[in-house]
Amino acid sequence: MAELALVRISLKLVWGLIANRAIARLETGNPTDEKLRQLLLSEFRKLHEELDALRRKELVAATAFMENAYEILNDDPGEAIKEFNKARDAAQVALGVVKELHDKILATKIMIASAIHEFVDKPDVAASLCMKYVSRLNSLPMVANASCAQISPRMGTKWRWGGSEARQELLGKISEINRCVRHFVTDQTSGIKYLESDCSHINVEGRLVNPVTDFILLRSCMELTALKEGFGTPICMVVVESKMFFAQTQAAVSGKRDAFLGNAIKALDLETGSVSQLVGHAGVVLCLAVAGSHLVSGSFDKNILIWDANSCKCVHILTGHEGSVRSLAVNDSHIFSGSTDCTIKVWDSITFQLHHTLEGHSAPVTALAVSNRHLFSAEVSGPIKYWDLKKFTCLHDIKSPGNISKMHILNSNLLVAFDQKLSVINLGNLREVAITKHPAELALIIDRNLCTASESTLSSLDVHNMNIIGLKAFKDSDVLYNIKCMHYEEMTGYLYVTALCTTANSKEKYVVFRL
């Protein structure tokens, strides 16, 4: 660090040579002083290069210590812990002196990874350090400025360290660091500890931005796997207990026994890549939902099956509907099923016993949205019904804006996707407060935002001001993409997307991506 101090002193001395009027001449580039100007600017460039190199020395050292630690981790864990400690110390010094944001991000990554390994036997200590380090990253002025430019384009002049692509790449990395820390802390200790801390947000002019969810589409996209030929056409998917479950169109089979196989739910193990089948439905599976560690499936066969996600075994069969089950919704205490028999059935999410049958629709129930207090249900051509979940009675009928495909409850609003548009209904007065021509072939809620998919593009919509705060386009010069289904897994903070990929020679395959 003595060398760094020396360079700083040298810099001050050079500035002293051109004090007062000379500084003003440099700024204006007065031709009479061009030689002096060029000479001094050249010296400054050299000094900046030397200063940057010295600043990055600690970062280079931290990286080297970490590499050493990983090399000996299996053979000598005790010595590796010492190397992780050195890496963490060097990275902390580097964070304070490096200038570029990407260097600060790298230093934070090293600090977090080193803390996790160094205190492997003390998860509480590791969690506290990780939250401290990510909080420090989130509070950097450059991070706040980048976030401000992303969510409020009109304020984008505050970001001066590169174009929009560079900014979004950096925010994507910050989002991934925050995701990793949240997952680690929640998995090792308690999610409450993370949520109650102030480390998980970026303060942007008084507004708290959640980098995990607000910038989810800015993260790098990883191709997990291509579904094998004959897998079927995915209709919808969910993730439970490290397994991805797909409902698909009926496969071509023959025989009564094979009819069950043709309607099997496919389970993809995200850790091993193995695929298994959940056989039990006699008709096409039309909808899936998650209830704790269970998978819930509704089918054309009028039944609802409850599956243990770990064993992939059916543990309950819920019967009673007289029509196919078209929609499912789950809250903290109940499972709701909407059917073509025009009813909604309410099941206990622990005992799976039938509690109520809600009647009132005159057409098949096609969409449900639920909170712990209220339920909204939509039918093919009639109104949206608003149910009170204390008395299980219908409170109001809301005029339908059109052919509804999905509904979501977000804060005090009901979001209704219909006819390639999005309607926002205020739950206080049940009036439409906004409508946008936002393509939404698929839609899901991610924290405070609505994530939609249309053809090959994902969009993240800030419903508060109806601004798009993130886009992710799946594109390749030789491949056409069409997004078919998506699922946000809250525990890990991952967004999973399945897309149909068509190559130049018209070959098709379904590929699963993760953000």
Residue 412, in any domain of the structure: no
- Number of CB atoms found within 10 A of residue 158's CB: 16
Of 346, 365, 363, residue with least CA distance to 354 = 346
Whether 322 shows a pLDDT value over 70: the answer reads: yes
- What is the C-alpha separation between 336 and 328, in angstroms, rounded? 6
Whether 4 shows a pLDDT value over 50: the answer reads: no
Q: How confident is the model at residue 104 (pLDDT cuts 50, 70, 90)?
A: very high
Instruction: Note the pLDDT tens digit of each residue in 16-27.
Output: 443 444 434 444
Residue 141, in any domain of the structure: yes
Residue 20: which domain range? Answer: 13-218
The whole-angstrom distance between residue 243's C-alpha and the CA centroid of its chain comes to: 17
What the block records as the tokens of 124 is 């509480």
Whether 174 shows a pLDDT value over 90: the answer reads: yes
Quick check: 296 and 317 in contact, CB under 8 A? Answer: no
| Per-residue buried b or exposed e for 124-142, using 16+ beta carbons within 10 Å of the residue's own CB | eebbbbbbebbbbbbebeb
More confident residue, 91 or 438: 91
Residue 214, in any domain of the structure: yes
Whether 1 shows a pLDDT value over 70: the answer reads: no
Quick check: 424 and 413 in contact, CB under 8 A? Answer: yes
Query: Residues 503-509: what's their mean pLDDT?
Result: 81
- What is the C-alpha separation between 355 and 173, in angstroms, rounded? 46
Helices (H), 422-504: none
Whether 153 shows a pLDDT value over 80: the answer reads: no
Q: How confident is the model at residue 193 (pLDDT cuts 50, 70, 90)?
A: low
| Per-residue buried b or exposed e for 289-322, using 16+ beta carbons within 10 Å of the residue's own CB | bbbeebbbbbbbbbbbbbbbbeebebeeebeebe
φ/ψ (deg, to 5) at 384: -85, 130
Residue 32, in any domain of the structure: yes
Whether 32 shows a pLDDT value over 60: the answer reads: no
- What is the C-alpha separation between 395 and 232, in angstroms, rounded? 41
- Number of CB atoms found within 10 A of residue 237's CB: 22
Residue 107, in any domain of the structure: yes
Whether 464 shows a pLDDT value over 70: the answer reads: yes
pLDDT for res 314: 95
pLDDT for res 472: 92
Number of domains into which the chain is organized: 1
Residue 460, in any domain of the structure: no
Of 52, 289, 146, 412, residue with least CA distance to 424 = 412
Instruction: Note the pLDDT tens digit of each residue in 269-307.
Output: 988 888 899 999 999 999 999 999 999 999 999 999 999
More confident residue, 102 or 317: 317
Query: Residues 191-200: what's their mean pLDDT?
Result: 63
Dihedral over Cα of 280, 239, 321, 313: its sign: positive
How many helices (DSSP H) and strands (DSSP E) are in the chain?
A: 12, 30
Instruction: Note the pLDDT tens digit of each residue in 201-240.
Output: 888 877 888 999 999 999 999 898 888 877 778 889 999 9
pLDDT for res 150: 87
pLDDT for res 88: 94
Residue 110, in any domain of the structure: yes
Could you tell me whether strands 494-503 and 243-248 are parallel, antiparallel, or unpaired per DSSP bridges? unpaired
Residue 36, in any domain of the structure: yes
- What is the C-alpha separation between 415 and 406, in angstroms, rounded? 8
